[in-house]
C-alpha cells in the first residue's frame, strides 16, 4: 500500500479530513485495534486541560520529539491543538508531527519568518480543546493551526472568532467549523475539503467511472463528518440521476455490527456501497460483507485512508476499495520524498505520514507564505495579524502549492479549492483511478 501512517500512530469525526476521506476529522471515529489504542497512550506529551499553562514546559512524546519548539527572538507564536492521547491520538499526532517538520525546516532556513511552536492535547474533547486554546493564549498565541478534529474545532473556532485570532485547520472538515452566512467565522479557514464537497466529488467519481448502478449508503448519523459526507453525496447523486436503493444509518453506540445495513443493501440489489465514515468501521463492514457473500464495489472517502495499516487487518478485504485522498506518501515527487524522510525521522523511524500530517505541513507553509505577502511581523498584535492574513488568504493574487495540492486558493467562506485524487486499492497498494 502507499506508505500510510502505521498503527503505531496512522477527517465523533476525525477528519478531514479520509480519515480516508480520514478524517470530524480533520482527514476525523474510534480506533478499533489494540495496537492503535496502545499507540495513543504512548503518545502522551502535550499539555492538555489538566496541564499547567502551555509555556510551562515541553513534555516529550514516545518518539523523543518535543511538542514545543523555541524559535527565539522575533519568532511568531504558532499554536496547534489536537488529540495526542486517547482513541483519536493517531490523528493529532499526525498533525503535530507534520507541523513540526515544517516549522523545523522554516526555522533552519534562517529567513525573515520563523516560528515558536506549541502543541496542546485536547483528547478529542470540545471542552478540553477550549481549555487547551486558553493555555495557548497564556503562552502568547498569535496564529492557530487546528484543531485536528471537528467537534473540538467547532468549539474552539467560536473562541478564536471572538478573539479575532487567525485559525487554519488542517483536517476539521465540517462547514460548522467556518460557519455559513451570517454565522460565518471570518477568521477561520480550512486546508481540507469540506464534507459536502467531498461527498459531491465521490458521487461524481461513481458516475464518471461507472462504478455501479444501484447504490447503498451506510453512514454514522451520530457523526458530523459522516452526515456531512452523506448529505453531499446524496445531493449530487440526485443531480446526476444516480439510483440510491438503500440508505441505512448507525451510531457511535452501535458501530460494530453492520449485518442489518448490509442485508438491506443486498436485498435491494445494491452493486455499490458508499461508506462515508472512518476506516475502523470500514474494515468491519468489508469483513462482514465477505462473510455473508455480499461483494459489491465499495467507496470510501478520506476517512477511509489508513485501512491497510490496521494491526491484523486482512488487506485482501480492501481489494478494489475506492477512496479519495489529497496525499499519498508513496508519491515519487521530490517534495513528498523529502517530507517522508523528515517525518519518519521526527517520529523516530518506522512511521510514514498520512494526509493529516501533510495537511498540517501545508498549513504551516501556507501561513508562512501569507505572512511574507502581508508583511506580518512577530511584534504585531494577534488581532492585527489576523486581519492581514484574512485579507491575504482571500486575495485573488494569493495561491499556495504544497503536498496536498497545487495552486490552492481560499474563498471568503474559508473553504479551500484544490483537486482531490481518487484511488483504488490493488494488491495492497493505492493506484490512481484514471
3-state secondary structure of 107: helix
343 occurs within a structural domain: no
State the residue for C-alpha cell 472517502.
301
The Cβ of residue 431 has, within 10 Å, a number of other Cβ atoms equal to 13
Cα 307 from Cα 185, distance rounded (Å): 34
pTM here is: 0.75
> What are the residues whose beta carbons fall under 8 Å from the beta carbon of 13, sequence distance 6 or more?
19, 23, 24, 25, 26, 28, 29, 149, 150, 151, 173, 174, 223, 224, 225, 226, 278, 303
What is the structure's pLDDT at 417? Answer: 87
pLDDT, tens digit (0-9, with 9 covering 90-100), for 105-162: 999 999 999 999 999 999 999 999 999 999 999 999 999 998 999 899 999 999 999 9
- Please tell me the least confidently modeled range out of 41-55, 313-327, 376-390, 415-429: 41-55
What's the grid cell of residue 308?
Answer: 491497510
What's the grid cell of residue 19?
Answer: 480519515
State the residue for C-alpha cell 455501479.
212
Q: Is the pLDDT of residue 63 over 70?
A: no
pLDDT, tens digit (0-9, with 9 covering 90-100), for 364-393: 999 999 999 999 999 999 999 999 999 999
What's the grid cell of residue 277?
Answer: 465514515
299 occurs within a structural domain: yes
- The enclosing domain of 315 has a CATH number of 3.40.50.2300
264 occurs within a structural domain: yes
205 occurs within a structural domain: yes
166 — pLDDT class (breaks 50, 70, 90) = very high
Domain with 306, as residue range(s), is 196-328+423-432
Q: In what order do the strands lie in the sheet with 322-325?
A: 243-250, 214-220, 272-275, 297-300, 322-325, 421-426, 429-432
CA nearest to 30, candidates 45, 10, 49: 10
**At 325, phi and psi to the nearest 5?**
-155, 145
Q: Is the pLDDT of residue 419 over 90?
A: no
Q: How far lies 35's CA from each of 63, 294, 302, 368, in Å?
A: 16, 29, 21, 36
207 occurs within a structural domain: yes
Termini Cα distance of the chain: 18
Q: How far lies 179's CA from each of 151, 155, 433, in Å?
A: 13, 12, 33
201 occurs within a structural domain: yes
6 occurs within a structural domain: no
360 occurs within a structural domain: no
User: Each residue of 385-410: b (16+ CB within 10 Å) or e?
Assistant: bbbbbbebbbeeebbbebbbbeebbb
422 versus 137: which is more confidently predicted? 137
Contact 364, 145 (CB under 8 A): yes
Query: What size, in residues, is the chain?
Result: 434
306 versus 136: which is more confidently predicted? 136
What is the structure's pLDDT at 331? Answer: 79
What is the structure's pLDDT at 215? Answer: 98
Q: Is the pLDDT of residue 25 over 70?
A: no
Element (H, E) at 81: strand 76-82
**What is the domain count for the chain?**
1
The one-character DSSP state at 171 is: S
Contact 232, 200 (CB under 8 A): yes
Instruction: For the chain, give the mean pLDDT.
Output: 85
User: Each residue of 203-212: b (16+ CB within 10 Å) or e?
Assistant: bbbbeeeebb
What is the structure's pLDDT at 325? Answer: 82
Cα 237 from Cα 205, distance rounded (Å): 10
Amino acid at each position: 500500500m502507499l506508505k500510510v501512517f502505521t498503527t503505531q500512530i496512522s477527517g465523533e469525526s476525525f477528519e478531514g479530513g479520509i480519515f480516508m476521506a480520514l478524517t470530524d476529522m480533520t482527514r476525523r471515529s474510534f480506533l478499533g485495534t489494540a495496537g492503535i489504542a496502545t499507540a495513543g497512550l504512548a503518545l502522551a506529551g502535550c499539555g492538555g486541560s489538566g496541564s499547567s499553562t502551555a509555556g510551562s514546559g515541553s513534555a516529550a512524546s514516545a518518539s523523543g520529539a518535543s511538542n514545543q519548539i523555541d524559535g527565539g527572538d522575533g519568532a511568531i507564536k504558532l499554536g496547534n491543538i489536537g488529540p495526542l492521547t486517547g482513541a483519536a491520538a493517531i490523528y493529532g499526532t499526525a498533525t503535530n508531527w507534520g507541523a513540526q517538520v515544517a516549522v523545523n525546516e522554516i526555522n533552519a532556513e534562517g529567513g525573515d519568518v520563523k516560528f515558536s511552536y506549541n502543541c496542546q492535547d485536547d483528547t478529542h474533547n470540545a471542552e478540553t480543546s477550549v481549555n487547551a486554546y486558553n493555555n495557548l493564549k497564556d503562552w502568547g498565541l498569535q496564529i492557530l493551526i487546528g484543531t485536528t478534529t471537528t467537534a473540538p474545532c467547532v468549539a474552539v473556532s467560536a473562541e478564536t472568532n471572538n478573539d479575532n485570532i487567525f485559525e487554519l485547520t488542517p483536517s476539521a472538515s465540517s462547514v460548522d467549523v467556518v460557519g455559513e452566512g451570517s454565522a460565518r467565522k471570518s477568521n477561520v479557514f480550512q486546508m481540507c475539503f469540506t464534507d459536502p464537497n467531498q461527498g459531491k466529488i465521490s458521487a461524481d467519481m461513481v458516475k464518471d467511472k461507472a462504478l455501479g448502478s444501484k447504490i447503498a449508503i451506510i453512514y454514522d448519523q451520530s457523526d458530523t463528518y459522516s452526515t456531512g459526507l452523506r448529505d453531499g453525496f446524496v445531493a449530487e447523486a440526485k443531480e446526476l440521476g444516480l439510483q440510491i436503493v438503500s440508505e441505512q444509518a448507525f451510531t457511535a453506540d452501535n458501530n460494530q455490527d453492520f449485518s442489518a445495513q448490509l442485508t438491506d443493501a443486498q436485498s435491494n440489489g445494491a452493486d455499490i456501497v458508499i461508506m462515508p465514515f472512518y476506516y475502523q468501521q470500514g474494515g468491519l463492514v468489508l469483513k462482514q460483507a465477505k462473510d455473508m457473500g455480499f461483494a459489491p464495489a465499495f467507496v470510501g472517502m478520506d476517512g477511509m485512508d489508513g485501512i491497510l495499516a490496521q494491526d491484523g487487518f486482512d488487506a485482501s478485504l480492501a481489494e478494489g476499495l475506492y477512496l479519495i485522498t489529497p496525499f499519498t506518501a508513496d508519491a515519487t515527487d521530490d517534495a513528498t520524498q523529502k517530507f517522508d524522510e523528515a517525518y519518519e525521522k521526527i517520529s523516530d523511524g518506522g512511521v510514514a505520514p498520512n494526509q493529516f500530517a501533510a495537511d498540517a505541513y501545508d498549513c504551516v507553509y501556507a501561513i508562512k507564505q501569507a505572512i511574507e505577502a502581508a508583511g506580518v511581523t512577530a511584534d504585531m498584535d494577534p488581532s492585527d495579524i489576523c486581519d492581514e492574513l484574512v485579507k491575504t488568504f482571500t486575495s485573488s493574487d494569493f495561491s499556495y502549492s504544497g503536498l496536498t495540492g497545487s495552486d490552492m486558493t481560499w474563498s471568503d467562506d474559508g473553504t479551500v479549492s484544490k483537486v482531490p485524487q481518487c484511488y483504488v486499492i490493488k494488491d495492497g497498494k493505492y493506484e490512481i483511478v484514471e
